[in-house]
Amino acid sequence: MIIGGDAMEESVKNNQPDSNGKDFHFFVWIRVAGAIVLAVALIWGVMKLIDWIRPSGDHQPAETIHSSDADYPETTETINTMAHDATPSQTGAMNPSQHGVTSSKTAVPASRAADSGSPEATMPPGVAFVDALVAPMDYELNNRLWGWRPNDVIEFTDNINEYQLGVLEATRRAARVLTENISRTGSTAAINKNLERAMNSFMIRADRYLFPSAESQYLEAIANLNRYKDQLIRNEESFFTRTDNLVPLLKAMEELMGSCDENLVKHYEDNGDPVSTFQADNYYYYAKGVASALLPMLEAIEHDFNKVMVTRNAADIMEQAIESCGHASHLEPWLFVTESNLNGIFANHRANLAAHISHSRFYLGLMVESLSM
């Protein structure tokens, strides 16, 4: 009887709800949900880390106009080479467009510009170029996470450091040509004080930490460039758009791209050592920084110097240069730069970037020849 009673009691227990089993399933679902949340947070954190380590972002002025929608306004002056070589261009200025778009190839009557009523139609020449010159450094100083990095006491990154050095070098060369060639009629004309201060401030070493710091000097340079832009808007200063003003700027850009091209294609350093993986990485991001800074400048040149380029049949060449530079600035290696064999299945990022840099450099040189004829 006792045995039968035990069996009956055990049967009753088996028929009762298992509260422990319900608790187990509940905690399983809690853990699954927690694991999903943790995985999503981890993926988000990794992507943020990649964005922090890898340079990204377009250096474009705040307002952009796609040239497919923009008609470049011009005055009723007769378009001829003599007029361009004698007086500053009277074309209106607008902010550069995104890369890869095409510009107008024919002159647009001044009446259309007047009817459009857009602010860009009344802007003097040079405003677009100054905006494009300022935008890359302004982004790196004010919008980049962690700001200016080459002068950090402890360097947590190197890709963005090299990228920022490339942006700085492109800005330096453009600022020098603007100061010495584009803003004055000749070598005997007075130099604009704001441009001179900006040019000198950009020459401060990028790794300078204090007395003065690189950031403070570069911000002061941007402020001086904006003062010059305000002078242009008030018609107190000039921005000459003759061929002899444009050619030195294109030559400076071509030479800088040539230096980048050489570093991207070489396999050995000057001392005979092979290019290391870390140095190849530095060469890549430096060249990418140069291309990213030159892209908005080329687009601004396409607008501000549009009349002279149309007259000299150089507009199509400029479009090709912009397209190639745009491709170079938008190459994005995933996680790190690879140096694979050109016949291999993996990418050789230096070679890929070198192709676009070389194309853009070629078209700039072709444009110099076309404008110098």
3 state SS for the chain: CHHHHHHHHHHHHHHCCCHHHHHHHHHHHHHHHHHHHHHHHHHHHHHHHHHHHCCCCCCCCCCCCCCCCCCCECCCCCCCHHHHHHCCCCCCCCCCCCCCCCCCCCCECHHHHHHHCCHHHHCCCCHHHHHHHHHHHHHHHHHCCCCCCCCCCCCCCCHHHHHHHHHHHHHHHHHHHHHHHHCCCCCCCCCCHHHHHHHHHHCCCCCCCCCCCHHHHHHHHHHHHHHHHHHHHCCCCCCCCCHHHHHHHHHHHHHHHHHHHHHHHCCECCCCCECCHHHHHHHHHHHHHHHHHHHHHHHHHHHHCHHHHHHCCCHHHHHHHHHHHHHHHCCCCCCCCCECCCCCCCCEHHHHHHHHHHHHHHHHHHHHHHHHC
Q: What is the pLDDT of residue 25?
A: 72
What is the mean pLDDT of the segment spanning 257-277?
A: 94
**Confidence at residue 154, expressed as pLDDT on a 0 to 100 scale:** 86
- The pTM for the full model equals 0.73
> What's the chain's average pLDDT?
80
pLDDT band at 42 (very low <50, low <70, confident <90, very high): confident
Q: Give me the mean pLDDT over the 79-104 stretch.
A: 36
HSE of 227 in the Cβ direction (CA atoms, 13 Å)? 13
User: Which span out of 22-36, 75-89, 339-353 was modeled with the highest average pLDDT?
Assistant: 339-353
